[in-house]
Amino acid sequence: MSVAAIALGLASCNKGESTLTPELPTGHQVTFVANTESSVDTKTYLSGNDKSGYWVLWSEGDKIILDNPASSRFYLLSGAGTTKGTFHGYGMGEGTFDAYYTTASTINWLSDETEYIPGNVISSAPMKGTLTFEGGYISSEAEFKNLCGLLRLSLKGDGTVRQIRVYADQYLYGTFDVNEEGSAVIKYQPEHDYVTHNCEEGVNLASDKGSDFYMPLPPNNYTGVKIEIIDFLGKKCTKTLKDGKVLNIARAMITPVSLNVTGLTDKGILPGRFFVGTTKLVYFSKGNLYWDGDSFEFEENQYDCLPGWSSTHVDHFSWNKDAAEAYARISSGGTLSSDVLFTNDPDYEQYPNKDFTVGGVKGKYRTLTQNEWEYLIKNNPHKWTKVHDVNGLVIAPIEHRGTLLDSYADNDALAAENLVFLPAAGSYPYNNGESSCGLFNTYCYYWSSSAFSDGYGYFTRCDAQYLVSDMHYSSTYKFSIRLVKDE
């Protein structure tokens, strides 16, 4: 069977440990070549339900630990991105010793946590080889074989994955021995009955194609398997293997599992919950809405807004209404565009939310109704403040117990208390016929989804002294839009 080019790699996660060669007081400086296992089939693109083998590629920072009295360590000198790496360190003693590739601090420990790395690069998959010392030097190349197999989770759906947990009736991590087949066999699992795959930056799922996540597991026939997919708000989608079903993980092989994920939120919203009715809760988007010329996006920071108009960054929107829906439209200068770019529900109680794609992620976003804006302002703590030298209104969620400040440094300061900030982006134009932005950094103007009459819509206006939720202006004015999602 021919071996194709390699699409999978191994990346080390050596936290807090130097990649420099340790200066041991005794022993010989040793440089040797280590090959990863090459006796299994590898495919550039893995699909379907057939098991596939995999190779491991060495990466910068990788280390090999020798099972000798000094636990000698050898660090990758060259060969990153290939199956043949040159390692350098200090050798101690004579004879043949077991050697381990590991990201743990001890050689016989399989971690309960792995890290997601973009591009389907695999982290923390341990390997074992042998090194023979003659006269204090290694006499030949060493081959390192995989101790685990890989679970490949292909997840389809909407939302952002922050963490994946796999539970089973059998041990999944801890101290291990190596059996005759070269597989890690867990002897002791000290605490919880699951392993965790962390996606610190969050991975946005796509409903039309699967997103792959690779987790190394000790070879076994697992029963009682439960998989939790968790988003950054702590919401979970739980999948359980049917009674009697077995998840087989084989050494040096990839076991694919495909799942449809539902119920997760996306990365575009903030974690704070806000009442907009007696029993109605919403999450705010992470920033104001803007159009980059090709797609809708959210501002990266809550305080981001423009003091004018740009064809590649439109953050002030006009509003129009017919008998069924309200439309937010961009405009060039003071002229309303004929292209409808955003549809919104004029009456939240009457019309369902609509799918809306922002930043490439589809979700059921909407704007608040006039009544919801009014309820939000009356029932959630708020204050006129300044963030990153931008004036605006800060609103606290229902769980907030602190004191609102006169100023906040940046997005991180707001995030520490789950606060929402509405920057004072003003109006564009300030008066009909003008082609410039007025009252920037002085007034917040935010459209609601409620129509006052044909050609007029309700909006919320606030400044340092006044906060009014039931004003209405001509839809040719261009105000900010801040989207929400229902809990």
Of 61-65, 182-186, 352-356, where does the model show the most confidence? 182-186
DSSP 390: E
- What is Dmax (Cα atoms) for the chain? 92
Alpha-carbon radius of gyration of the chain: 29
The mean predicted confidence, pLDDT, of the chain is 79
What are 69-128's pLDDT values in tens digits?
778 889 999 998 888 999 998 876 678 889 998 877 778 889 999 988 877 667 677 899
Q: Give me the mean pLDDT over the 457-479 stretch.
A: 80
Preceding omega of 307 cis (within 30 degrees of 0):
no
Contact 136, 27 (CB under 8 A): yes
- Residues β-bridged to residue 163: 198, 230
Q: Is 404 exposed, middle or buried (0-12, 13-18, 19+ CB in 10 A)?
A: middle
φ/ψ bin of 286: left (φ > 0), alpha (ψ from -120 to 50), beta (otherwise) = alpha
Task: Give the pair of three-digit tokens for residue 232.
Answer: 């950054």
Residue 135 has pLDDT above 60, yes or no: yes
Cα angle for residues 445, 449, 451 (degrees, 5° grid): 95
Contacts of residue 91, defined as CB under 8 A and 6 or more positions apart, other chains included, come to: 27, 28, 29, 30, 66, 72, 131, 133, 136, 137, 138
Q: Give me the mean pLDDT over the 200-220 stretch.
A: 85
Q: Give me the mean pLDDT over the 3-11 stretch.
A: 34
Lowest pLDDT segment from 183-197, 354-368, 405-419? 354-368
Lowest pLDDT segment from 111-125, 154-168, 315-329, 390-404? 315-329
- Identify the pLDDT of residue 123: 65
Residue 324 has pLDDT above 80, yes or no: no
- Identify the pLDDT of residue 131: 87
Residue 436 has pLDDT above 70, yes or no: no
Distance CA 300, CA 297 (A): 9
Sheet holding 484-486, edge to edge: 274-275, 281-284, 484-486
Residue 147 has pLDDT above 90, yes or no: yes
Q: Are strands 63-66 and 95-101 parallel, antiparallel or unpaired?
A: antiparallel
The number of beta carbons lying within 10 Å of the beta carbon of residue 137 is 13
The number of beta carbons lying within 10 Å of the beta carbon of residue 106 is 10
- Identify the pLDDT of residue 430: 57
The number of beta carbons lying within 10 Å of the beta carbon of residue 44 is 9
What are 267-287's pLDDT values in tens digits?
788 888 899 999 899 999 999
Residue 353 has pLDDT above 70, yes or no: no
What are 153-196's pLDDT values in tens digits?
999 987 889 999 999 999 999 999 999 999 999 999 888 899 99
Give the position of tokens 């440094």. Answer: 409
- Identify the pLDDT of residue 327: 64
Lowest pLDDT segment from 53-57, 60-64, 296-300? 53-57
Distances (CA, A) of 59 to 80, 161, 197, 218, 325: 5, 25, 20, 22, 55
- Identify the pLDDT of residue 386: 96
Contact 172, 150 (CB under 8 A): no
Q: Are strands 52-53 and 63-66 parallel, antiparallel or unpaired?
A: unpaired
DSSP 281: E
Q: Give me the mean pLDDT over the 398-408 stretch.
A: 89
Band of pLDDT at residue 293, cut at 50, 70 and 90: confident
Main-chain dihedrals φ then ψ at residue 378, nearest 5 degrees: -75, -25
Residue 1 has pLDDT above 70, yes or no: no
Residue 14 has pLDDT above 60, yes or no: no
Residue 10 has pLDDT above 70, yes or no: no
Distance CA 221, CA 249 (A): 6
Distance CA 471, CA 444 (A): 12
Of 83-92, 150-159, 215-224, 340-349, where does the model show the most confidence? 215-224
Residue 421 has pLDDT above 90, yes or no: yes
Q: What is the pTM of this model?
A: 0.66
Residue 366 has pLDDT above 70, yes or no: yes
Distance CA 81, CA 7 (A): 10
Cα angle for residues 122, 231, 486 (degrees, 5° grid): 155
- Identify the pLDDT of residue 15: 35
Contact 13, 112 (CB under 8 A): no
Band of pLDDT at residue 12, cut at 50, 70 and 90: very low
- Identify the pLDDT of residue 90: 80
Cα first-last separation, the chain: 52
Task: Give the pair of three-digit tokens for residue 136.
Answer: 């204090």
